[in-house]
A and B are shown apart, each in its own frame.
Chain A
Amino acid sequence: MALQQFAPIAALIILAVVLTFIISNISTIFGPSNNTSRKTAPYESGMQPIGVGMRRMPVKFYLIGVLFILFDIEVIFFLPWAVVFRDLGFYGLAVMGLFFFILTIGLIYEWKKGALEWE
C-alpha cells in the first residue's frame, strides 16, 4: 500500500534532483569561464575581506532553534489528535490544553529571560 503510494514520490525526487542538477550546471557549459583570484574572492562590495567567511554563530539563534523544536514536536502531537478529536471529546481537548500549557511556560520563560530580544 505505502510502497505504491510512495513510488511516484520517489520517482519525483529522483527526477527533480537530476533535472535541477542539470539545469543548475548548464551555465558551466554555455557561459565563459575565466576565473581570476579577484573574481573568486568573497564579494564584500569591493572591500578587502578580513578573516574567514565560515564564522561561528551567535548563540541567540541556537535558542530560537530549541524553541522551534519544542513547538515543532507540539505540532506533531497535535496532528493525530486533530484528525480524531471529535471522537476523543472534551477529555482529549483537556489533555492537549495541558500539553500546550506546559510548553507555554517554556515560551514565557524564554521571553522573560530576553532571549527573543535583539539588543
Chain B
Amino acid sequence: MGCDNIINTFAPCLSSSLGVPIEIANFIGIFLGVIIVASFPLLVAIALIWTERKFAARIQDRLGPNRVGVFGLLQPFADVIKLLGKEDITPAGADRPIYNAAPVVSVVSVLLIWAVIPFTPIHVGVDLSIGALYFLAVASLGTLAIILAAWASNNKYALLGAFRVVAQLISYEVPLALALLVPVMIAGSMSLVSIVEAQAGMWFVVSAPIAAFLFFISAQAETGRAPFDLLEAESELVAGYNIEYSGMKFAMFFAGEFMHVFTNAVLMAVLFMGGYLGPFVDQIPMLGLVYLLIKASFWYLLSLLMRNALPRIRIDQLMLFNWLFLVPLSVVNLLVTALLLMIVREVGLAPDDPRSFVDNIPQTIVLFLGNAALFVVVMSMVRNRFRAQRLAETQTDDLLPATAGD
C-alpha cells in the first residue's frame, strides 16, 4: 500500500511501517483528523478578521488596520492577546452554568459542520450519507445557544435582542433547508461528496440559480449579518444577546459568527459551485483545497459586500420578506425543479454520463429556462403588488397636504 496519501492511508501505513497495532493506529488517525478539522476553521477565522476589517475599511474610505505588522496582518493576534488579558465578568443574577455553556455551544455548532465538508477528493472528515441533513441539524443548535445566552445573562436588552434574533434565525432556516433540497434532488443524494461529484458535468449554480440565491440570502440571515443584523441593532438594543459577555467568552461568540460566515461561503461552493472540482484535481488532490478556498472566497467577499453596502431592514419587513417571499418561492422552486427533472427524464434528455459536460447541456438548459421563467413570474407579481401599494400611498399623500394646509 502506498503511503503517499496521508489522511486516508495513515492508519494502515502506521501499522505496516512502524508495527503499531491497527486499532491504536486507527485511533491516532481519527484523533489527528479530528484535530485538523477542528483547528482549520479556527485558524481561518483569525485570517478572516483581518480580511473583513480591511474590506469594510476600503468600502468606508478608510485604511483599516495597518500598524501591527505588514499591512496590519498581525492585528488579529494583537486583538486576541488583548482579549486574553480582559476581565471575565459574570453579571450578578446570571444563571452561571448556562451562561458559561452558551458560548461553547455556539462555537461547537459551527465547528461540527466542518466534519462533513469535502476538502479534496480524498480528504473528507466523514462522508455521511445524510450529510446535508447533518448540516441542518448541527446548525440549528446555534439558535438554542443564543436564546440561552441572553436569558442566562439576566439583561433585558439581551433578552429582547435574543427574542428577535431567534425568531429571525428559525424563520430563515426554512428557506435555507428548502434551497438545500434542490442540490440534493439534482444529485439524488444527501452526501456532500456525491453532491460535489454530481457537479462534474455542470455546476448547480447554473442549473439552479434561484436555489443558490435563496441559500445565499438565508445563510446571510442565519449569521445575523447586515442587512439582517437585528440582533445587534446598536441604536435600539445596546449590543444584542452577547452584551453581558466579556473577555474570551465574548470572543467565542465573535469567532463563531466569523466562522459561520466563512462556513456558509464554503457550503455555497460545495453545494452550487462544484466544491473541490477543477482542472488536474485527479492528479494532485491538494489542488482541490485551493479550488474550494478560491470558490468560497468569492461567496465570502460577496457576503461582505452585502453586509457593508446594504442598510438594516426592520423586523416586520424581515418576517414578511421571509414568510411571504422566500418560503413560498423556495417551495415553488423545489416543486418546479422536481417537475422539470422528471420531464427531462421522461423525454430522454437526462445526461447519459453525468460527468460529461456535453451530456449535461440539455438538462441544464431546461432547468435554467425553468428558473428564468419562475424568476420573471415572481418578479412581475412582486412588481404589481408594490406598484398597487405605491399608488395607494401616493393617493393618500396627495390628500395629506390639503388637510394639513387647512
Contact = CB atoms under 8 A, between A and B. Distances in A.
Direct contact of A and B (CB under 8 A): yes
Given A64-B170, A71-B174, A41 B91 contact: yes
A93 B126 contact: no
A31 B189 contact: no
Contact of B244 (A16, A24, A43, A72): A43
B86 A31 contact: yes
Contacts of A75: 136, 174, 177-178, 181
Contact of A31 (B87, B127, B327): B87
Contacts, number: 214
Contacts of B184: 79, 82-83
Interface of A is mostly: helix
15 contacts: A9-B115, A12-B38, A20-B103, A24-B248, A25-B249, A27-B87, A27-B249, A28-B88, A33-B87, A53-B159, A64-B171, A79-B181, A86-B188, A86-B341, A100-B335
Contacts of B244: 42-43
Contact of B342 (A17, A33, A79, A93): A93
A20 B104 contact: yes
B243 A43 contact: yes
B154 A53 contact: yes
Interface string A1-27: 000011111011101110111011111
B350 to A, nearest CB: 9
B128 interface: yes
B327 A89 contact: no
Contacts of A102: none
Interface stretch (B27-35, B278-286, B367-375): B27-35
Given A16-B112, A64-B167, A89 B335 contact: no
A59 B252 CA distance: 31
Contact of A30 (B84, B173, B174, B341): B84
Interface string B109-131: 00110010000000001111000
B111 A12 contact: yes
B89 A24 contact: no
B86 A65 contact: no
Contacts of B319: 64, 116-118
A48 interface: no
B247 interface: yes
> Lowest 7 A-B CB distances belong to which pairs?
A27-B247, A53-B154, A118-B316, A68-B170, A40-B92, A75-B177, A71-B174
A72 B155 contact: no
A42 B103 contact: no
Nearest to A58: B163
A93 B163 contact: no
B75 interface: no
A59 B112 CA distance: 32
B90 interface: yes
A17 B252 CA distance: 12
A28 to B, nearest CB: 4
Contacts of B338: 82, 85, 93, 96
Contact of A32 (B87, B103, B158, B320): B87
A13 B108 contact: yes
Contacts of B93: 42, 52-53
B92 A90 contact: no
A86 B345 CA distance: 8
B335 A37 contact: no
Given A11-B34, A40-B91, A100-B331, 14 more contacts: A5-B127, A9-B112, A21-B100, A21-B104, A25-B248, A25-B249, A31-B88, A42-B156, A42-B244, A57-B163, A78-B181, A79-B184, A85-B341, A107-B323
Nearest to B169: A68
Interface in A90-114: 90, 93, 96-97, 100, 104, 107, 111
A116 B31 contact: no
Interface in B152-208: 153-159, 163, 166-167, 170-171, 173-174, 177-178, 181, 184-185, 188-190
Contacts of B154: 42, 52-54
B170 A65 contact: yes
B241 to A, nearest CB: 12
Contacts of B34: 8, 11-12, 15
A86 B155 CA distance: 52
A85 B155 contact: no
Given A16-B112, A72-B177, A24 B252 contact: yes
Nearest to A117: B316
